[in-house]
Amino acid sequence: MSMSEGRAVVTPGESNDASLFVLESGICTMMGPSAEGSHRTCSAGSMFGDIRLSGMLSETVLATVMAATPVKLWTIEHAMVVAVCRGVGRSLPGQQPAPAQTREGQAGEAGPLLGVREGRDSPPLQGESVEQHAARKAAHAAGPMVKSVPVPLPSEPDLIRAKHALVQTLQDEPIALHELERIAILGTGAFAYVVLVRCRGRVHALKVLSKSHVMAKGLQMHVLREKGIMSSLSSAFLVNMAAALQDSQCLYMLLDFQQGGEFFTYLQNRTDPLSESSARFYAACVVAGLEYMHSKGVAWRDLKPENLLLDGRGYLRLADFGFAKRIAPGSRSYTLCGTPEYLAPEILMQSGHGLPVDWWALGVLLYEMVAWTPPFHQEERAVMFRAICSANYTMPAYFSKDLKDLIRRLLNKQPSRRLGTVQGGVSDIRKHPWFAGFDWSALVSQRMPAPFVPKVQGPEDMAHFEAGQEVAHKLLGSGRHVSVGTFADF
């Protein structure tokens, strides 16, 4: 079903035929049950519902879920959800029947309870098929409303298996290469290029990598890691991957198309630096994206204006995850990677680095947005690297006191003392005085107006990219075929 912006998808206490919602497109905001409650964002692929399927759903709804943008959702009746859960539960070896629950609304050893109201709905009986339950449910549809009856739900392992079963059922058929209609080239690189394509009524950016070039450079593991990380991430503040494909010559990543183009181009086309107010909005978008990535244990390691894209509403999206890496708590990476002006001291000195390198890069970005140049920029790389390692830079007098303080705290050469890394984590950044009065919930739900909204004529408009060219009917492969098995995990 489709819902317009501002509509309530789920309201606590409301009777719903559908107890499970799967968000196909758009953004929903989950608002806490009280004025002080937290606001969470659900993006495409999220599942939420008005039943307590902890461990199965992306979100358990004990509050209101609103459509922050126009959304499309799948809905599933709770009878089907419970039937699937029970079906999965029966297949688990050694599973014991859950003890009966005697107190309404409470959970015991059997786990959380599902409350239903007879006359509008009722749980499937033991051994009852979905069809039998549907017929009995229809017979009771006109019955009186009575108090909730507690029903024990399956255990967490059951729910995890049930989630996989449901997701498999709901997924679209896999995308095939022949479905991609090429429009124009968006950009080219050393061994890859990006093509604008149509697929199933939507416009995407298709990243194309030559297998032979990847192998010649010894980048197989690098590319496989990038694909693996992108497959595990989905956020309104990232460029998300819809599919990964391959043929005998090329690897393909089907990505979100962000029509606003590179943030770097936007900054370069301006006649003056950003105001602190505008910089605050863009910095907050980056904070939201990094917070999500770090929650998954992923360090981006390549923050720079060229890797930030403006979407159609003017929000920033983190793009290009070629240097992204999972770094476990307490572990370090020793790879020298990134853009020179944005490298953290610990990367340059190869003393071992982790997630804090991204907060250093945020400090560099903040400085560049408002000053129009990175803080450590020098023509001679050796001079610049010495300045980075000693955190030696000066700030313009027109920077506000709070901006100077935030940048200093982010550009701390000691990773363990860097803002975003100390005990308060990312909340220390959100609570910094420079962000005083900033409505983070409005940003996350994307209700906040952006300082700049790209002008586009339609979903295929490429006005904010360099002039594209028609793509030949044949994709530009290297001419040499490579076994699919070489990239079996792609």
Q: Is the pLDDT of residue 124 over 60?
A: no
357-366 average pLDDT score: 98
Q: Mean pLDDT highest for which of 26-30, 55-59, 122-126, 151-155?
A: 26-30
48-67 average pLDDT score: 52
Provide the CATH number for the domain formed by 261-444 in this structure: 1.10.510.10
Active site residues: 302
Q: Is the pLDDT of residue 168 over 70?
A: no
Four-way CATH pick for 177-258+472-487: 3.90.1150.10, 3.30.200.20, 3.30.70.1290, 3.40.50.2300: 3.30.200.20
Q: What's 1-170's CATH class?
A: mainly beta
pLDDT at 88: 42
- Reported as a pLDDT band with limits 50, 70 and 90, residue 174 is confident
Q: Is the pLDDT of residue 473 over 90?
A: no
Q: Is the pLDDT of residue 134 over 60?
A: no
pLDDT tens across 404-417, in order?
999 999 999 999 99
Q: Which residues, including other chains, have CB under 8 Å from residue 487's CB and lie 6 or more apart? A: 211, 220, 223, 224, 246, 251
Average pLDDT over all residues of the chain? 78
pLDDT at 77: 58
Q: Do domains 177-258+472-487 and 261-444 have the same CATH topology?
A: no
Number of neighbours of residue 312 by Cβ within 10 angstroms: 16
Domain boundaries, the chain: 1-170, 177-258+472-487, 261-444
